[in-house]
Copies of this chain bind each other. A is one copy, B any other.
Amino acid sequence: MTTQPSLSAAPELAVTRWFNTDDNPTLAALNGEVVVIEAFQMLCPGCVSHGIPQAQRIQQTFGDDLTLLGLHTVFEHHDAMTPVSLEAFLHEYRITFPVGVDTPTPGSPTPVTMGRYRLRGTPSLVIIDREGNLRANAFGQVDDLSLGAALARLIDQPRLQPETG
């Protein structure tokens, strides 16, 4: 099996705690699935007005055809956006998809997963294909028509058969 040279493997998530799931989602375990990650901060106005509502529309539209994860990538106001505050935020905004808390980096404001993906800020939308390749890493607003097209194309890619022998 070969992947296109231009595609790079999506780095693994580093999460200290998950909400809205009893599992501990990892990209390794999700291999074979299309994965969409909504990276946000709960006090980021653009996340509240655009990113999170779009993630909720993805959840409604594509349901079981992909795995949607939120990632709370706090890189500023760390004391203000603790897991306790996040939990209330998820409740008030009726966010029901799994949301992980990005692991803090000692000595740096940028958490670990945010650093691995070199996110430019929040909201950022990350899309990973069934083979674990990074397909999109978009900061700011993404339009729904383009996004719907991109997700359909990745959903329609066949799951690879594991190589044997």
A residues with a Cβ closer than 8 A to B are 43-45, 48-49, 57-58, 61-62, 76-77, 79-82, 84-85, 87-89, 91-93, 143-153, 155-156
Contacts and interface: CB of A to CB of B under 8 A. Distances in A.
A77 B48 contact: no
Contacts of A80: 84-85, 87-89
B88 A77 contact: yes
A58 B117 CA distance: 31
This chain's copy number in the assembly: 4
A109 B156 CA distance: 43
B153 A148 contact: no
Given A84-B79, A85-B80, A88-B81, A145 B57 contact: yes
Contacts of A151: 145, 149
A158 to B, nearest CB: 13
Given A43-B88, A43-B89, A80-B85, A152 B143 contact: no
